[in-house]
Amino acid sequence: MTVYGTLKSDLGEGGDTVVLWRKKRLLKRLETRPSEEWFPHFDKSIKLYNKALRLEKAGKTDRAIKLYLKNIRKYKPPGLAHFERPAILLERQGHYKEAIKVCDMALRVKVVPEATAEAFQREFSARKRRLQGLKVRRKRK
From CA 52, how far away is CA 78, in angstroms rounded? 17
pLDDT at 6: 43
pLDDT value at residue 86: 96
Closest to 83 measured CA to CA, from 116, 111, 48, 120: 120
14, amino acid identity: G
Report percent pLDDT > 70 for the chain.
70
Q: Can you tell me the mean pLDDT for 5-30?
A: 52
This model's pTM is above 0.75:
no
- Does residue 95 have a pLDDT over 70? yes
Band of residue 30 on the pLDDT scale cut at 50, 70, 90: very low
The pLDDT tens digits of the residues spanning 45-83 come to 899 999 999 999 999 999 999 999 999 999 888 788 899
Residue 113 has phi, psi (to 5 degrees) of -65, 130
- CA dihedral 58→51→56→123, nearest 10 degrees, is -160
- Residue 37: per-residue pLDDT: 60
The string of pLDDT tens digits covering residues 104-133 is: 998 888 776 777 788 888 999 999 999 999
Top pLDDT among 125 and 136 is at 125
Complete domains list, the chain, with CATH: 3-31 (no CATH), 42-140 (1.25.40.10)
Q: How far apart are CA 15 and CA 39, in angstroms?
A: 36
Please tell me the predicted confidence (pLDDT) of residue 99.
Answer: 96
